[in-house]
């Protein structure tokens, strides 16, 4: 930190590694193994010709596409530069020095980073022993409740009645549901925004729509909450989404059958991988995401990570005490999963 910087105590989010070489199979950041929709790529290259002009500050094409996709009205949608930006806006809008945030002890690592950035206190609520969320722990919370559903890095889905219980138990707090992984077999609660004025749903094009590098995310919520977020957006960066990404995202929304097909394949590969891992003695909680979370009684998470890496396979290991036995493994193509399984078989042979 330079002697000029006035922001002591920041602990930035550490993204998964984007390796330069030596890695043959990248399963560490939950990207899609499939390319974006060909229609999205075509729209992106057509839009590049207009880069001279500012992008649409209303993000109308994507906003309207999302409104159709989720059967809501455009005033219920905010479009953001990745969903991380929508999350950041929500922490800015709905938390403060005396309005804390509440989330599980094991969840997306960016939530505490936003809290420290904005000097917001936070309370981490331990997951149950089986790594699931107990909705009763979130009733009458002291501030905004943040739940990733399915949760990351566990992949476990919280059933809809539990989500509704949390929303109903927090009439004076915003309940933010981060649905980054919902398209892989989970159920969105975006349709509940007309029933509850405190529900905010966050989504992303990074995973199920294969557009992580385009940086496109969104929030869906009651018009009043969306207007709050829009005021933050217009106070920070009104042209927050670039025009190539907007064109690409709008076309991706049109091509919903392509996305559905990619998700079906990921789900099939996930179920296959999870069951093979369990056959090998791994503990794998039931995942509704595009990754599995796996630990093994005979070998540490760190050693699995390191030995996979030696074999050119990159997965994500977290050093946090409670989950250090685990690795989070992104679901790839069947060919990649077969290589992963055979590498893990090899590795387990060495620790017999």
Which residues lie near ligand PLP (CB under 6 A)?
Answer: 30, 82-84, 108, 148, 152, 178, 180, 204, 206, 212, 217
| CB nearer ligand PLP, residue 37 or residue 154 | 154
Smallest distance from the beta carbon of 145 to ligand PLP, in angstroms?
Answer: 15
| CB nearer ligand PLP, residue 217 or residue 221 | 217
| CB nearer ligand PLP, residue 215 or residue 296 | 215
CA 2, distance to chain mean position in Å, is 32
First to last CA, the chain: 47
| CB nearer ligand PLP, residue 61 or residue 154 | 154
Q: CA-to-CA distance for 315 and 332, rounded, in angstroms?
A: 11
For 92, the token pair is: 């800015």
| CB nearer ligand PLP, residue 111 or residue 258 | 111
| CB nearer ligand PLP, residue 152 or residue 314 | 152
Smallest distance from the beta carbon of 183 to ligand PLP, in angstroms?
Answer: 12
Q: CA-to-CA distance for 75 and 158, rounded, in angstroms?
A: 27
Helix, coil or strand: residue 180? coil
Smallest distance from the beta carbon of 83 to ligand PLP, in angstroms?
Answer: 3
Residue 305's Cβ-count burial label (10 Å; 0-12, 13-18, 19+) is buried
Query: Beta strands 199-204 and 217-220: pairing type?
Result: antiparallel
Smallest distance from the beta carbon of 311 to ligand PLP, in angstroms?
Answer: 25
Task: Kindly give the residue spans of alpha helices, DSSP state H, lying in 10-127.
Answer: 38-47, 60-70, 82-94, 110-117
Residue keyed to tokens 């090998």: 280
CA angle 257, 262, 263 (to 5 degrees): 95
Smallest distance from the beta carbon of 6 to ligand PLP, in angstroms?
Answer: 27
Smallest distance from the beta carbon of 153 to ligand PLP, in angstroms?
Answer: 8
């Amino acid at each position: 930190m330079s002697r000029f910087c006035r922001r002591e105590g920041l602990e930035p989010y550490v993204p998964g590694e984007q390796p330069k070489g030596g890695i043959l199979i990248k399963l560490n950041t939950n990207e899609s193994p499939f390319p974006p929709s060909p229609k999205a790529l075509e729209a992106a290259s057509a839009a590049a010709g207009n880069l001279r002009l500012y992008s649409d500050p209303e993000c109308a094409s994507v906003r309207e596409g999302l409104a159709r996709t989720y059967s809501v009205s455009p005033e219920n949608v905010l479009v953001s530069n990745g969903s991380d930006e929508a999350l950041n806006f929500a922490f800015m809008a709905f938390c403060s020095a005396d309005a804390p945030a509440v989330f599980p002890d094991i969840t997306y690592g960016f939530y505490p980073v936003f809290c420290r950035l904005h000097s917001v206190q936070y309370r981490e609520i331990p997951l149950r022993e089986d790594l699931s969320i107990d909705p009763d722990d979130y009733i009458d919370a002291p501030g905004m409740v943040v739940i990733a559903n399915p949760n990351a890095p566990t992949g476990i889905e919280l059933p809809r009645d539990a989500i509704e219980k949390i929303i109903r138990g927090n009439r004076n707090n915003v309940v933010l549901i981060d649905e980054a992984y919902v398209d892989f077999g989970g159920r969105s609660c975006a349709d509940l925004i007309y029933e509850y004025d405190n529900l905010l749903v966050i989504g992303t094009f990074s995973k199920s729509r294969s557009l992580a590098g385009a940086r496109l995310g969104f929030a869906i919520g009651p018009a009043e909450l969306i207007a709050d977020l829009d005021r933050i957006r217009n106070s920070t960066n009104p042209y927050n989404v670039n025009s190539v990404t907007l064109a690409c995202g709008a076309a991706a929304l049109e091509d919903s059958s392509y996305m559905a097909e990619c998700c079906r394949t990921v789900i099939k590969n996930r179920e296959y991988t999870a069951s093979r891992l369990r056959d090998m003695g791994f503990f794998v909680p039931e995942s509704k995401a595009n990754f599995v979370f796996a630990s093994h009684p005979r070998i540490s998470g760190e050693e699995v990570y390191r030995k996979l890496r030696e074999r050119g396979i990159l997965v994500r290991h977290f050093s946090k005490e409670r989950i250090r036995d685990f690795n989070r493994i992104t679901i790839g193509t069947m060919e990649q999963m077969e290589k992963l399984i055979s590498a893990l078989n090899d590795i387990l042979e060495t620790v017999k």
